[in-house]
Every structure is written in C-alpha cells, then in structure tokens.
Amino acid sequence: MADDVAVPVADGAPDRAPPPSQVRQWGRLRDLSSLRWVETALGARQFEKMPWLAVAMLVGILTWFGLPSTWQWIVFLGFCGLAAAFALLFLDEETYPFAKTAIVSLALFLAAGLLIVWARSTLIGTPAIGRPIVGEMTVRVVEREDASGPRRARILVATREATGETITARVSIPEQYDLPELAPGALARMRLRLIPPSRAVAPGSYDYARAAWFDGISATGSVMSEAEIFEKPAVRRHGGVRSDLLDLVLERIEDAGAAGIAATLVTGDRSSIGAEDAEAMRNSGMAHLLSISGLHVGAVIAIVWFATLRLLAMWPALALRIPLPFVASGAGAMAGIGYTLLTGAALPTVRACIAALLVLAAMALGRQALSMRLVAIAAIVVMVFWPEAVVGASFQLSFAAVIAIVALHNSAPIVRFRKSARDHPWPVRMARAGLLLFLTGLVIEVSLLPLVLMHFHKAGLYGAAANLFAIPLTTLVVMPLLGLSLVLEPLGLAAPFWTMTGIATGGLIDIAVLTSEAAGSIKISPMVPVWIVMTILAGGLWLALWDGKGRLLGLPVMAVGLATLATLSPPDLIVAGSGRQVALTSGDRTYWLRPNDTFEGGRLRELAGIRDSAAIETESPPLISEMPGAHCNEGFCKAPIGQAGNAHILIGIGRVHSPSEELRRACAASEIVVAENALPDFCRPRWLKLDGRTLSRRGGAAIDVDARVVSYVRPAGDAHGW
C-alpha cells in the first residue's frame, strides 16, 4: 500500500530528474548517436592504434602527392586540425573514450604525413636545369653504375660549369668513351650533353623527374667525348670489394646464366644477368629474387641467427650464463648490416634492413616477431625518413607482401590447425607446411597484382606456383651454399660448393623458364587508374587490419576493384608529352602516328596494354594512316575517334606549318587537335587542343573520348617542384 502513496513535490519542480544521458555540459556532447556504433566497434577491439596510425600517415603523404596546389594542402591540414579540435572539445572522455582517441590520433598522423613530405620536398628538393646544355665540363665522379645488358654504363657526376652552381647529373657513357678510371672519386674533364630529367611520357608512366627531385639530381644526359683524367680514384673502397666478389662468382660458376643470378644475390649487381633470363624471371613472378630486399636480408640474418644460436648452445656453461637469443640477434644484426653495405646499400635494401633489425629487436626482447604492430612501426620509420618512397613500387610491393603474410599467418584457420598438429607424422606436417606455403604465395600474388599492373603493366599469373619452389630453393639452398662457398674460398675448399651453387641457381632459371612459357602465364594490362588500386588496397587493408566478422566488409570492396581491373580497357587516345607520338585505339587495335620503336613508343605501348616483345620486332605496328576512315597528307592525319566514330581528331605530323585559313577550317571541323608545336589562337577545335604549348605545361595526356575525360601528367596549378 505504501507504494501507492503519492510523494508530494514542490510547485514548479519536475516529477522526476532528467536522466544522466540527457545532461548537457558546455563544451561536451554526451549523446552523439552517429558515433555510438563507432565507439562500440572501437571499444570491442580496444583500437589497436599502431597499424591504423601508419595508414593515416601513408594517406597524408599520398594526399600531398595527389593534391596539386599549396592552398589544397593547407585546407587539408585545416580539416585535420578541426577534426582533432572537435574531438578534444566536444567528445566526453567518459562517454566516447575510444572514438575521441581515434579521431585525435588519426587526424594528427594524417597531418604529420603531409607535413613530413612537404618539409622534405622543401629542404632537399633539387630544381632541374632550365634548358639543354652542351659543353666541356670538369666533373667529379660520385657514383658509377655498370651496364646491365644492352644499357650503357652510367655515372653520377658533380659539376659547377653547367649553371655556375654545383649540380649533380646522371650521364650515360657510350662504350667507346668508357674508361676504368671513371670511378667514384675521379676528377675529369669531358664534353657533356645535359638535359632536364624527363617527366612521365603520359599519365601512369614512370616519372623520373619526381625521383630526381628527391634524389638531388638536376640533369641527365650523355658523355660526348673521351674524358681527360686529372685525378684517379684515390682508394678502392666498397665498390672494389663488390667488384672482386662479382668477378669471383662469375669465375667459379661455369654456367653463365646461373653465375649471373648468383652474382646478383651476393653483390646486388644485376649487370651479368642475361636479357632472356631477366625476362623469364619477370614473367614468372620471380623478379623479386633479383632485387636485394627483405627476402635476401632476412635469409642472411636468419642463417647467421640460427648458426650462432646452435654453435653457442654447444657450450652449456656459456648457455647458462648469457642470453643466447640476445647474442644471436646481435650477430644477425651485424650480418644484415654488412650484407646491406656489401650489396650497395640501395634504399630498398636499407629499408628492408631496418625492418629486419626491428624484428631482431622484438625477438631479443622476447616479443612476437611477426605482428602487424611491428610492420606498422617499420613503415612509420621509413615514412618519417623517406616519405617520397611511398609512391614508389619498392615500398608498396614490400609492405603489401608483408602485410598479407602477417594477416594470413595471424588469423587464417589453416595456420592454427598446423600449429595444433605438431604431433602428427612428419609426412602430414610436411604436406600442411607445403599447402600453407602455397597459400601464402597465392595471397601475396593476389595482393601485389594491382600494384604490379599499375607500375609495370605486366604481371606473371603463376607466381604463386613458381615461388612455392623458388623461395625455399633460394633461402634454404642457394644462399647458404653461396655463404659456405665464400667462407671456404680462402681455405681452398670451396670448389664442390661452387658446383652445387651453380646447379641450385640453374634450377631457379629452369623454374622461371618453365613458368613463363606456360600458356596464359602473363597478364598484360593497359594504364590502371589510381582509384582502382586505391579501392582494392582500401578493402585489403580493412581485411588485414580489422578483426572479427567486420573485417569481411573489405571483401566486397576488393571484389569491386578487382572486377573493374579485370575489365579494364586502354584509353581511346594517348598523347606523349612531346606530341611526337600518338596511340589511338579503335576496336581491338591500337594505331600509331609513327613506328613505336623509340623510348617514348615503348612507354605508350605499356600504357596501351601491348606486350613489347617479339610481336613488335617481327611486324610493323599499324599506323594511323592505315586506319579505316583515316586520311593523311604530308602535314596532317585526320581519323575518327570514339565508339560511334562520328567525332574526328586532327594530328599534326612534325611541326605544323599550314596556311591560316586551311588550318582554321580543319581545326573547327575536329573535336581534338594534337600538334608538337604551339598552334595559333585561331585554331579552335570543338573540344580539346593539345599543342606544344599545352603539352609543355601539362605533360602527356590520356583521353576517354566518349566520357570527355582527360588526364594529364601535371594537374592544373601543380605546385610540386618537379
């Protein structure tokens, strides 16, 4: 009965106090329904920060490369600051602890990525020379790169006589002018032809000017006379050791192909690999074995680590007094650093070495060596010191492969099943290990395929099967045999090991040839738009970095990107930056303004998705003048474009010199006009004019005619230094 008695309240007072969830405090928001699901998801996962912070820094760096102008960079930083300020001022710590932390940290790392690459570009970016220069110059040789295959040897030189200020130039040396004295440290005088570093021929092609900007190179060119040597290299330093090792390996292994591969694994110098062997390695998906990277550094460190641990464990008194894993990690670290220096300390090898040292540090401290957190730390270290690396193939392929491996081995059911079946008979364990190795290779190939096609426009589809045998053969047989051969060489006991090394390395070539010659082994792709690759990578990163059932949301995103990639067709029209070469696609054929056996033609062949091999050598490519519906004379070609064929393009052949009225009428009757020199203002096509003035400012172009979409090498208002 007492429960039924009404409790009196004061006049004007509410019947009951408002619930705490509805209380509003100035500067705090406690009930943002749009953030509740975010908070719930982050709370369930405890927001493992490091991998996502690395992704945020990566996005910030890519944003700087993707946005063309300074004001856009500032606006991006402003949005990052507003997001962080919103979280700090309006999200209550008790209600949204994980969402608040996530928004603030991600916003700061987004901004940090953009600021780091912007600062590095400002501090070390090197402007190119303004025009071609030819003349006698005194130079100091800084680096030398010997020829690989038909390519000329190249040297990096420093000189003041080109512009009045010290600049660095990379020049090639024709065989008749090459001297052994042109080595690092030499002072010489020679006649040089210097030009600005070349920009990308067309969108999607490699941009050497961007790489030169960050590498401190102001010019490229060639040597035009025999050098007069004033000072010879004072001391044979690191390069001499590499040269001696290269000669030793080539001399000891009889088979030339196997010797070239083995020499590359020891010194990082690929100049001794034959063109056919290199092509077979690329087409089989085994080209990564020729680039000294994480696989090779990791193999050297692992061999030294296990050998040190086993040898020291033979002395019980020593094993009981010192931490053997710590000592083995130190020995492995010294071996990795030494191998990195021996192979030339190229930037990808340095990055691989840093990542390997982080793994060693984790092992020495008793932490998990194979974790996404460690991969993220390695990526952040690389991005802090070399932010420009993120747009290069080496960084993207290396970290994509490692992320795929870690994600698979930390979450796949087959891995847990294999670990739980260690007491089974050894044939069963070996079969499961082989299956896991194949699945690892397959996941890596799928993960790398979009990136490989974007950068190289060609990929081997059977790489997973080839690497199933090639990677164990390299890491467990070839490299240990090479190490034993080099160690025993001073003792005169290395002959049988050199023989076994040659046989094992020849096996690598056999695998590459067999795989590359299989039917359907090569995927050729035209120019891959960046948004397709970003879609696939976004889905892949979500699948790899998230956990629980929510990670499966990445699969449909990846599927959309992969389906778009599989049905990709080349642009209707590709115009080189010089205006001298044009690729016009009609139906299933691509027609060319000129024979495409030049460097520029080769790049356009890649972007058009045409394999530049025997087909180009044995038959002349179809010219626009042979295209149905095209009409050409000495000065111009006019051809139909688009699927309907009711639009036309007017292309100048060489430098256009035409009577004004005739040119005006021809331009007015065409949708697109292309010419390598600047055209008069009265030349006004219906849609687009790509003359020398536009191409010199914006670079080459790729055009989708029906959609009226034009992509340039340089966006309008581009503020990047190169």
What is the mean pLDDT, run by run of 10 residues, along the chain of 722 residues?
Answer: 41 44 42 65 69 94 93 95 90 80 92 96 91 91 72 85 88 87 88 92 89 92 90 61 80 86 82 80 79 73 84 80 82 85 74 78 70 85 90 86 82 58 65 73 81 84 78 84 86 87 90 84 82 91 82 89 86 89 85 79 81 50 86 87 82 81 88 90 90 90 88 89 86
What total number of domains does the chain contain? 5
The whole-number pLDDT of residue 367 equals: 67
HSE-CB of 125 using CA atoms within 13 angstroms: 15
Same structural domain, 191 and 51: no
The answer to whether position 19 is within a domain reads: no
Torsion of CA 479, 483, 489, 493, to 10 degrees: -80
Tell me how far apart the alpha carbons of residues 400 and 513 are, in angstroms, rounded to a whole number: 26
Domain membership flag for residue 4: no
Q: Which of 363, 311, 301, 308 is nearest to 334 (CA)?
A: 301
Rounded CA separation 229/190 (Å): 9
Tell me the C-alpha distance between 119 and 241, whole Å.
37
* pLDDT for the residue 470: 84
Closest CA to 485 of 475, 476, 469, 496: 496
**What gap in Å lies between CA 73 and CA 118, rounded to an integer?**
9
Q: How many CB atoms neighbour CB 556 within 10 A?
A: 10
Structure tokens at 47: 């927001």
Q: Position of tokens 């071609």?
A: 132
Torsion of CA 655, 658, 660, 664, to 10 degrees: -80
Backbone angles phi, psi at 157, to 5 degrees: -125, 155
Identity of the amino acid at 593: L
Task: Output the CA–CA distances (angstroms, integers) from residue 44 to 3, 35, 95, 547, in the order listed.
Answer: 41, 14, 14, 10
What is the C-alpha to C-alpha distance for residues 136 and 701, in angstroms, rounded to an integer?
Answer: 36
CA 337, 340, 344, 350: dihedral to nearest 10 degrees? Answer: -100
Helices (H), 567-610: 599-607
- Asked if residues 540 and 552 have their Cβ atoms less than 8 Å apart, the reply is no
Residue 193 and residue 169 in one domain: yes
Q: What would the two tokens of residue 167 be? A: 């600049």
Euclidean distance between CA atoms 171 and 227, whole angstroms? 13
Cα–Cα distance measured from residue 581 to residue 674, given in angstroms and rounded to the nearest whole number:
10
> Domain for residue 682, yes or no?
yes
The one-character DSSP state at 199 is: P
* Residue 158 three-state SS: strand
By residue range, what is the domain housing residue 372?
243-386+462-521
Instruction: Give me the pLDDT at residue 619, please.
Output: 58
Rounded CA gap, 259 and 246, in Å? 9
Predicted local distance difference test score (pLDDT) of residue 8: 42
Cβ-contact 676, 577 below 8 angstroms:
no
Q: Is residue 170 part of a domain?
A: yes
Instruction: Write down which residue in 124, 157, 181 finishes a domain.
Output: 124
Residue 680, domain member (yes or no):
yes
* Residue 472 and residue 513 in one domain: yes
5: in domain = no
Same domain, 193 and 167: yes
Q: Is residue 560 part of a domain?
A: yes
Which residue among 509, 544, 568 closes a domain?
568
Residues 289, 382 share a domain: yes
400, 548: one domain: yes
Q: Which among 83, 101, 124 is the end of a domain?
A: 124
Q: pLDDT of 408-419, one tens digit each? A: 877 666 565 555
Domain identity same for 305 and 331? yes
Among residues 203, 113, 67, the alpha carbon closest in space to that of 717 is found at 67
Q: In Å, what is the CA distance from 39 to each residue of 45, 97, 429?
A: 10, 8, 43
Q: Are residues 606 and 457 in the same domain?
A: no
The label of the residue with tokens 């004004």 reads: 660
Count the neighbouring beta carbons within 10 Å of the beta carbon of residue 543. 20
Pair 47, 96: CB distance under 8 Å:
no
**289 and 337 share one domain:** yes
710, 701 in Cβ contact below 8 A? yes
Please give the model's pTM, rounded to 2 decimal places.
0.81
Both 158 and 148 in one domain: the answer is yes
How far is it, in rounded angstroms, from Cα 172 to Cα 156? 9
Task: Please tell me the distance from the alpha carbon of residue 378 to that of residue 398, in angstroms, as a whole number.
Answer: 11
Distance between CA atoms of 30 and 24, rounded to whole angstroms? 7
What is the CA angle 80-82-84, rounded to 5?
70
How far is Cα 123 from Cα 120, in angstroms, rounded to an integer?
Answer: 5
CB atoms within 10 A of CB 117: 26
Element (H, E) at 147: none
Looking at the structure, do residues 450 and 314 belong to the same domain, yes or no?
no
CA distance 214 to 250: 35
CB within 8 A of 681, min separation 6: which ones? none
Instruction: Determine, yes or no, domain membership for 11.
Output: no
- For residue 233, give every residue at least 6 positions away whose Cβ sits within 8 Å of its Cβ, in sequence order, or none: 141, 181, 183, 184, 185, 186
Q: State the Cα–Cα distance between residues 697 and 682, nearest whole angstrom.
A: 20
Distances (CA, A) of 617 to 221, 411, 580, 589: 27, 49, 21, 17
Q: How far apart are the first and last CA of the chain?
A: 87
| Angle at alpha carbon of residue 353, lines to 348 and 355, rounded to 5° | 95
- H helices of 572-687, in order, are 599-607, 614-618, 660-668
251 and 339 both lie in a single domain: yes
